[in-house]
Amino acid sequence: MSKERMLEVLKRKQRVSPDERTRLAMTKMQKQKRLSSEEFLRVHDALWKDGPKIKYQNPDAWDGVSRE
């Protein structure tokens, strides 16, 4: 994901639920500065989308799977 795209997504998220720490992380990203661990995790959480949930009928009955 490009930096511009990430900033656009973060700007949309900020409109919905403004957060000072996320805004500071966005400013750092625009200035091409390094993010702290906490800032990186905030950006990651803002961008992350859960994938589809998969349910298997009987996962213990798979054939050919090594169980060591």
Give the pLDDT score at 67: 54
Residue 33 token pair: 């500065």
User: What average pLDDT does range 42-68 have in this prediction?
Assistant: 74
Structure-block tokens of residue 26 = 């966005």
pTM of structure: 0.57
Say yes or no to pLDDT of 34 above 90: yes
- The predicted pLDDT at position 15 comes to 80
Cα–Cα distance measured from residue 55 to residue 23, given in angstroms and rounded to the nearest whole number: 38
28 touches 7 (CB < 8 A): no
CA neighbours within 13 Å on the CB side: how many for 51? 2
